[in-house]
Amino acid sequence: AQSVTQLGSHVSVSEGALVLLRCNYSSSVPPYLFWYVQYPNQGLQLLLKYTTGATLVKGINGFEAEFKKSETSFHLTKPSAHMSDAAEYFCAVTTNTDKLIFGTGTRLQVFP
Amino acid sequence: NAGVTQTPKFRILKIGQSMTLQCAQDMNHNYMYWYRQDPGMGLKLIYYSVGAGITDKGEVPNGYNVSRSTTEDFPLRLELAAPSQTSVYFCASSAQGAPYNEQFFGPGTRLTVL
C-alpha cells in the first residue's frame, strides 16, 4: 500500500528565510508525487508534480521539490519565504490506482 | 471555465436530517472525487467515479452515497446526518486516471451537524 508522511504539522519561518517542508512516501512501485497548497478557506491547488524524468521539479510561486528515490523523499523548498506563502501544504502520491493518497498537511507560518 | 464548483458553501444540519452536496465541473473530466477534510487529518477519500454511471467507495464511505448520471455532475448525499460528519467537503476532478491524475479542486462546503 502507498502512504505519505509529512514531518512537522507546523513550520514557522521569517520572511526571506528558506522554506523546507518534508515529505516521505512509501510505495512498492514507482511513485508519482504531488505537492498541493491550500490557502485559507479555499480548495487545494497544484504546486508541482513529479512523474518521470528530471528529479528536480519546479513549480509555481518559486517552489521546487526534489525526488530522491534512495531516501523515499520529495521535500518542498523555496529559497526565500514571502508573507503570501502562508498556507497549508499537502504532499500526495499516486501509483497504479486512480486515487491520490494525501499526507496530513503542514501549516506554514511566515513572520515579518 | 468555472472549473469545479460546489454548492452550498456553508450548511448547518440537525442530527438525522439529510442533504445533498452539489459538485459540477465544466472541464469534461471523466474522473471525479469527494473528500472530507478534518483538522490535522489531511484529506480522506469518500467516493470517486471514473465516468458517468461508475462509482466506487473510497476510504471513508459510510454514511454517504453518490451518483454519477452525467460527466459534469457528481452529487454527494448524506441520508441521516450525524455529528461525526461535521467537516469540510471537497470535490475534485481529473482528466486522467493514474498515474497522471492531477486533480482540480472545488472551493469546498463547510458542513456542521448539531
Distance from CA of A80 to the nearest CA of B (A): 26
- Read off the pLDDT of residues A5-54 as tens digits, 9 standing for 90 and up: 999 999 999 999 999 999 999 987 888 999 999 998 889 999 999 988 88
C-alpha distances (whole Å) from B60 to each of A81, B37, B83, B114 are 36, 11, 15, 21
What pLDDT was estimated at residue A28? Answer: 79
What pLDDT was estimated at residue B15? Answer: 97
What pLDDT was estimated at residue B35? Answer: 97
- In terms of Cβ atoms closer than 10 Å to its own Cβ (0-12, 13-18, 19+), residue A29 is exposed
Kind and range of the H or E run holding B61: none
**Contact status, residue B104 vs residue B25, Cβ threshold 8 Å:** yes
User: Is the pLDDT assigned to residue B112 strictly greater than 90?
Assistant: yes
Across B61-68, average pLDDT: 96
What pLDDT was estimated at residue B25? Answer: 97
Kindly report the CA angle at A45 between A40 and A48, in degrees rounded to 5? 130
Taking CB atoms and an 8 Å cutoff, what residues of chain B touch A95?
98-99
Whose cell is 534512495? That residue is: A70
C-alpha distances (whole Å) from B54 to each of A5, A46, A110 are 31, 26, 43
**Contact status, residue A64 vs residue A58, Cβ threshold 8 Å:** yes
Which cell goes with A68? 530522491
Chosen for mutation from B48, B74, B103 (greatest number of chain A CBs closer than 10 Å) is: B103
- Read off the pLDDT of residues A46-94 as tens digits, 9 standing for 90 and up: 999 998 888 899 999 999 999 999 999 999 999 999 999 999 999 999 8
Taking CB atoms and an 8 Å cutoff, what residues of chain B touch A45?
105
Whose cell is 439529510? That residue is: B18
- Read off the pLDDT of residues B5-61 as tens digits, 9 standing for 90 and up: 999 999 999 999 999 999 999 999 999 999 999 988 889 999 999 999 999 999 999
Q: B91 falls in which pLDDT band (50, 70, 90)?
A: very high
CA B111, B49, A28, A63 torsion: positive or negative? negative
